[in-house]
Structure 1
Amino acid sequence: MAAQMVDIEAQSSFEQTSSIFNKVESPISLKFHEVVYTVTIKKQGWLNKMKNKSLEKQILKGITGMVLPGEMLAMLGPSGCGKTTLLTALGGRLSGKLNGTITYNGKPFSSIMKRYTGFVPQDDVLYPHLTVTETLIFTALLRLPKDLTSQEKVTHAEDVINQLRLTRCKNVIIGGPGLRGVSGGERKRVSIGQEMLINPSLLFLDEPTSGLDSTTAQRIVSTIRELARGGRTVVMTIHQPSSKLFYAFHKVLLLSEGNSLFFGKGSEVMSYFDSIGFSPSVAMNPSDFLLDLANGILSDDSSCSGQNEIKQKLVLAYKSNLANNLKAEVLEFDDHMNDDVSENKKPERWTTTWSQQVMVLLRRGVKERRHEFFSSLKIGQVIAVSFLTGLLWWQSETSHLQDQSGLLFFYTGFWGFFPLFQAIFTFPQERLMLCKERSSGMYRLSSYFVSRTLGDLPMEMVLPTLFCIITYYMAGLKPSFGSFMYALFALLLSVLVSQGLGLALGALVMDQKSATILGSVIMLSFTLAGGYYVQHVPGFISWIKFLSISQHTYKLLIGSQYERGQTYQCGDRTCLVTDFPAVNSVGLDGQVISIVMLVVMLVLYRVIAYLALMRIGVLKR
């Protein structure tokens, strides 16, 4: 009865559908045979490290099954049973010791197949400050073929919004922690919509109903079932569905500790377990009963040893009753009959050109981070420090050379740390989004990197310029326009180098706390070797000053204010500026060398950041 209700509801909704629920052009049959996945676990502790021992653990233990176009497979089981691992393996996103065979229309996973595959992770990885419409439009501009015009892509995104019933919230931001946005069910539909834009033949979903109320979960599953009716092959993990949801699945795979306990039609699962002597003592939700079995629980007083015994019995029963017939069915099935995905019509690797990717990512990045760019807190911080600095150094004269040199070194310190810590958080915060979109083949890593760098330039340039304008004339530094422009040039170049260092540290470490500590140590080392605090650096450690951003910036700032042969009043006599310790330590010579060193570091740090992103396994070009 429940199954009939679901069918009627799905059919009535399906009759109102349009583009995204149409029949797919290239249906795909998914087969997996004896899939085994093993991970290596390193023993913790100092003694174990000394012994250099490690253990291997099987996460998946010979899983077999088959899903055909138009079918929806639900993988059930307790937490840690291997559901997500198997889903990731079937989606072609699992690396490591994976054995067995997984075929798509009889062929292994390839870059071609990626184009026909949609993958919705359990956690909705979305930009919180973009609206629903902006999220789907930017995804469409990146993922849809370049032979479509921008307006056609926008129209397609609007169709998806209508079909997934997101019209009511289309102009609402996604939201996130501490930022109110759309509801959980709407967020999940947006994630599904991002994958449906490419009209995938294969759709994988990890816990699509997690954290949702039963009504919202029912709507999500009803939508997914409609997608399957269009000829898609749908595979999803689900933890504990309601009875109504359970009967919506065409096939069910029950897992326990990496072992299969059942694979077959959802309507037959209860009768199967009843035939092998396992039936519920009271009427209950089938999924609750299956989860109890997967945990080895038949009654409230089941002991640990009893639970293990029940699990073993279920595994043996599966192997003797279902496994052989299932393997034979999988091996005998001719999955080449739907083989429309051929090498002859291999699509291009990227759906859009490099320049298109850069422009779309740049626009999206500016929209997402506009709240950061125009943050009143950040702007207020810089303005407040600027006026405080200007007042403390108000109309400082050359006779107060100690004060002026201190101000110039403060420039290097403040604008060394400020952009460094802003940039350190860039890649760790975006890692999940970058992994998700890169694994879907949305864009090149180089286009992302360039757009991210260009998008950050406005605020990286505007705030230091504002700081320099306020403090330079309040402090009474050299009033000529050329000197001001030279000082501003030195400051902006220093900012870009510090930002590059932050990007490199963030990409290398990918942990905000560790990267911050490392960045503090490095920048403090550069500051100490900058030529202001210590004029006589021992020879064995003097090499640090050649790498110091502070030292090179300080030299350029000194060069913007003073020149060889210039004097100042020191007490009752006249002294040479070059004899003053804070100036003499860096000297007025070698200005070009300092500029070249900063430019080299500017390029080098960004190259390191790019290479660090490339080394992350999922971020392959």
Structure 2
Amino acid sequence: MCRPASLAEQKQEQTAGLSVQWQDLTVGVGPKRVPVLRNLTGGASAGALTAVLGPSGSGKSTLLGTVSARFPSQLRVLRGSVRYDGEAWDRSRHKRRVAFVEQEDALLKDLTVRQTLTFAAALRGEPDPAARASLMLHELNLDKCADQAIGGANIRREISGGQRRRVSIGHELLLDPGLVLLDEPTSGLDSHAAAKIFRILKDLSTRGVAVLATLHQPTDAMFLGFDSLLLLRDGEASYAGDPQNAVAAIAPKPPPKGMPIADYLMEVICGDDAKQATAREAAATTGTISISEEAGPALPWLSQFIILLKRCFLAHRLDLVDPMLLANMFSVMLLSATLWSGQGSKRPRTETSVRDISGLLFLSPVYWAFQLMILALYTFPADRVVVTKERAAGLYSISAYFLARTSVDTLTIVLMSPLLSLIYYFAAGLRPSEVGWHLLTLFLNSLCAHSAGLCIGAWIMNLKRATTLQTVFMLATMMCGGFYVRGVPVWLKWFGDLSFTRYAYGALLKIEYKGAHYDCAAGRCTVLRESALIDARIRRSSVGADLAVLAGFAVAFRLLAFFGLKRNTH
């Protein structure tokens, strides 16, 4: 059997490496700009594997973040420069030549390994994404797990930590980068998995790529395989040069027998103030990653949207058809159908049946509002790490992602409410001729609720806080909307106008009672006309006006959600 060609063999020439040099580099953190890196001079050459070692808090991750041109929002370059092949950073020339593999794997759990790399290749503008992904799978020895899901809480069978790390590396190598930065790629892996990662890094360097990696407790075999070594302590360089000369240069004696060289060097350079350094870098790396200069995506907007739409559907299809979720919704609708069975078809109709049906028309939009708002809260927080990373790499615009992600939910979750509501509609004997208007009202109500949930989740990425705010918002607007108390203070009535369920309830009442006549239960009056049936708390406007308000709320909430997402993934 013929061996598939490696990625290097697919290229007519060796990958052009991108060397990086930093000169007298000092980086500060926070409002007072406390230095985290001090007077660093060094670099990573093309065709070489440069390792950065140091205790926790020594500035390793800060150095990589600075070289990658992705800064935590608190970091500031106070002095010095970073140059790429002797030139200052230029996003049009350098952004797509620098790959950054972060310490945490930012991958969508429900996609398979093959799907993950295929979509990544497509977003990077590859003419044949599937073929490119297959080559990368072979290159990284991921063929056996290619069709397994990345894995997460709801996945029974998931790939291992080492395989997940290789997928993250492959995701970035699809760039054909000249410079690869890796933040502790072997952390948390067993020795066998770590050795595989190291072999990948060595292979990259032999192909001409400049590799700069921070590593934690490398074995002696790895240590002696480094082409260059930088030892950091408290933000300063303790040693820079050939790793084989490191012990002689900074240690008073050779390492004890059986002790790894890297561990011995850490013991030599660590001082009593290592804990202070840890606190400093923890402060430096806390917060969101900002994009210093965002390179434009490789594809036009429409192509980004189509690819992301497919990916969002595949990545979240299990959430959209969750059996427990469907069972919950179906059970509530079935119970409603049972309790209100035949109430609307009773003849003659009396004010008693009006009250019963009004209860159903109130319950339905309120139930769907709470249900869909809660579901929407999870949408953006679940994807935040992935979107932030991919935006930093310039894969797509935030508008393309936002529209793709929300479109998938709208076409699935939001449409469930009117479709499942058919269960109670005909069972309750509501007006058959008005079913279309009834379902349209529920759809717009659900769209409002989902949009409001997206808005809260986009601005408040903490799910506990977002859930609290969602509950307060819904209950407060309903209470001030006149559902429970008629005498709402004037200064609070405006808050009730934000209750979109109020407009949905009003529209449903008008749709059901339009032009209808009902007998008085006491038999003393002849009829109750429409104007007398609709509660004074409901807006006296047309159904069309109520639906227009619902549509306006949905648009407003989605616009706010977009700006919140843009802010929190930048």
TM-score, structure 2 normalization? 0.89
Alignment equivalent of 1:235, drawn from 212, 215, 228:
212
Deviations 1:369-419 (A, max 9, x none): 111122111111111001111111121144221111111111121011111
Q: Which residue of 2 aligns with 1:385?
A: 332
| Deviation at residue 24 of structure 1 after TM alignment | 4.6
Q: Secondary structure at the match of 2:225?
A: coil
Whether the aligned pair in 1 keeps the contact of 2:296 and 2:396 (CA below 8 Å) is: no
- Gaps in structure 2 of 5+ consecutive residues: 278-293
Match of 1:106 in 2: 86
**Could you say which residue in structure 2 is the equivalent of 1:123?**
104
Structure 1 residues 287 and 425, CA gap change in structure 2 (3 angstroms): same
Which region of structure 1 is more displaced relative to structure 2, 225-234 or 460-469?
Answer: 460-469
| Aligned counterpart in structure 2 of residue 576 of structure 1, from 528, 535, 552 | 528
* Secondary structure at the counterpart of residue 138 of structure 1: helix
Q: Partners of 1:257 and 1:241 in 2: how far apart?
A: 20
Alignment of 1:61-140 (within 5 A): 61-94=38-71, 95=73, 96-99=75-78, 100-112=80-92, 113-140=94-121
1:506 aligns with 2:483: no
Residues 60 and 22 (structure 1 numbering): CA distance in 2 closer, same or farther, change over 3 Å? farther
In structure 2, the residue corresponding to 1:490 is in which secondary structure?
helix
Query: Any idea what the Cα deviations from partners look like across 1:444-502, whole Å, max 9, x if unmatched?
Result: 1111011011111222243212331001111222232xx11111111000111111111
CA distance in 1 between partners of 2:542 and 2:437 (Å) = 15
Q: 2:146 aligns with which of 170, 173, 178?
A: 170
The residue correspondences of 1:198-217 to structure 2 (distance < 5 A) are 198-217=175-194
**1:595: which partner in 2?**
547
Alignment of 1:513-524 (within 5 A): 513-524=464-475
CA contact (8 A) 1:530 1:554 kept: no
Which residue does the alignment assign to 1:470? 423
Tell me the residue number matched to 2:356.
Answer: 403
Provide the rounded CA distance (Å) in 1 between the counterparts of 2:477 and 2:359: 16
Structure 1 position 77, deviation (Å):
1.0
Contact (CA 8 Å) 2:103, 2:185: kept in 1 or not? yes
Q: For 1:122-271, what aligned pairs fall within 5 Å after superposition?
A: 122-145=103-126, 148=127, 152-177=128-153, 179=155, 180-271=157-248
Q: Partners of 2:537 and 2:51 in 1: how far apart?
A: 71
The amino acid across from 1:290 in the alignment is L
For 2:24, which of 18, 34, 40 is the aligned residue?
Answer: 34
2:389 aligned counterpart, secondary structure: helix
Using the alignment, how far apart are the partners of 2:516 and 2:412 within structure 1?
38
Counterpart Cα distance in 2 of 1:573 and 1:382: 42
What's 1:293 paired with?
A: 268
Deviates more, 1:55-64 or 1:245-254: 55-64
Q: Which amino acid aligns with 2:324?
A: L
Does the 8 Å CA contact 1:564/1:588 hold for their aligned counterparts?
no
Task: Summarize the Cα distance change of 1:424–1:20 in structure 2 as closer, same or farther, 3 Å threshold.
Answer: farther
Q: Secondary structure in 2 aligned to 1:101?
A: strand
Closer/same/farther in 2, CA of residues 21 and 34 from structure 1, 3 Å limit: farther
Q: Tell me the secondary structure at the aligned position of residue 543 of structure 1.
A: helix
1:493-572 equivalences in 2 (<5 Å): 493-563=444-514, 566-572=517-523
How big is the shift at 1:282? 4.3
> SS of the residue aligned with 1:428?
helix
For residues 14 and 458 of structure 1, the distance between their equivalents in structure 2, rounded to whole angstroms, comes to 41
Alignment partner, residue 447 of structure 1: 400
Return 84-93 or 531-540, whichever deviates more.
531-540
Matched ranges for 1:16-35 at <5 A = 18-19=8-9, 24-35=14-25
1:433 and 2:386 matched: yes
Contact 2:18 2:209 in 1 (8 A): yes
User: Which residue type is aligned with residue 193 of structure 1?
Assistant: G
State the Cα deviation string for residues 113-137 of structure 1 (Å, max 9, x = none).
Answer: 1111111111111111111111110
1:370 aligns with 2:302: no
Q: Residue 153 and residue 479 in structure 1: after superposition, are their counterparts in 2 closer, same or farther (change >3 A)? A: closer
Task: Quickly say closer, same or farther: Cα 1:16–1:558, change in 2 above 3 A.
Answer: closer
Contact 2:166 2:197 in 1 (8 A): yes
CA distance in 1, matches of 2:368, 2:470: 14
User: What CA distance in whole angstroms lies between the structure 2 residues aligned with 1:430 and 1:601?
Assistant: 25
Instruction: Indicate conservation of the 8 Å contact 2:46/2:209, yes or no.
Output: yes
The one-letter amino acid of 2:556's match is L
Contact 1:73–1:249 (Cα < 8 Å) also in 2: yes
Give the aligned residue type for 2:22. Answer: F
Tell me if structure 2 keeps the 8 A contact 1:63–1:259.
Answer: yes
Percentage identity across paired residues of the two chains: 31
SS in 2 for 1:493: helix
Q: Match for 2:302: what amino acid?
A: S
16-25 vs 158-167, greater mean Cα deviation: 16-25
- CA distance, structure 2, for counterparts of residue 156 and residue 19 of structure 1: 13
Query: In 1, Cα distance between the equivalents of 2:165 and 2:343?
Result: 60
Structure 2 letter corresponding to 1:204: L
Q: Which residue type is aligned with residue 53 of structure 2?
A: L
Q: Which runs of 5+ in 1 are unaligned?
A: 1-12, 42-54, 297-303, 312-346
Superposition deviation, residue 577 in structure 1: 4.9
Aligned residue identity for 1:254: L
Question: Residues 120 and 171 of structure 2 are in contact (CA less than 8 Å); yes or no, is this contact kept in structure 1?
Answer: yes
SS in 1 for 2:82: strand
DSSP 3-state at the match of 2:305: helix
Tell me, what secondary structure is at the counterpart of 2:497?
helix
Is the 1:531–1:582 contact (alpha carbons within 8 Å) kept by the matching residues of 2?
no
2: CA distance, partners of 1:209 / 1:428 = 27
SS across alignment from 2:558: helix
Secondary structure of 1:247's aligned partner = helix
Aligned pair count? 539
Per-residue Cα deviation, 1:31-57 (whole angstroms, up to 9, x for no partner): 01122221127xxxxxxxxxxxxx553
Report if aligned partners of 2:511, 2:543 keep a CA contact under 8 Å in 1.
no
| TM-superposition CA deviations, 1:218-257 (whole Å, max 9, x none) | 1111111111111111111111111111111111111112
Aligned position for 2:291: none
> 2: distance between equivalents of 1:521 and 1:577?
37
**Shift of residue 571, structure 1, vs aligned partner:** 2.3
Aligned counterparts of 1:212 and 1:371: Cα–Cα separation in 2? 29
Structure 1 residue 212, shift from structure 2 partner: 1.1
Cα contact 1:393–1:407 (8 A) shared by 2:
yes
Could you tell me how far apart the structure 2 residues matched to 1:517 and 1:132 are? Answer: 36
Give the distance between the partners of 1:490 and 1:531, measured in 2 at CA: 20
Aligned with 2:435 (options 461, 481, 484): 484
Deviation at 1:552, TM superposition (A): 0.8
| Two-structure CA RMSD over aligned residues (Å) | 2.4
Mark the CA change 1:503 to 1:556 in structure 2 (over 3 Å): closer, same or farther. Answer: same
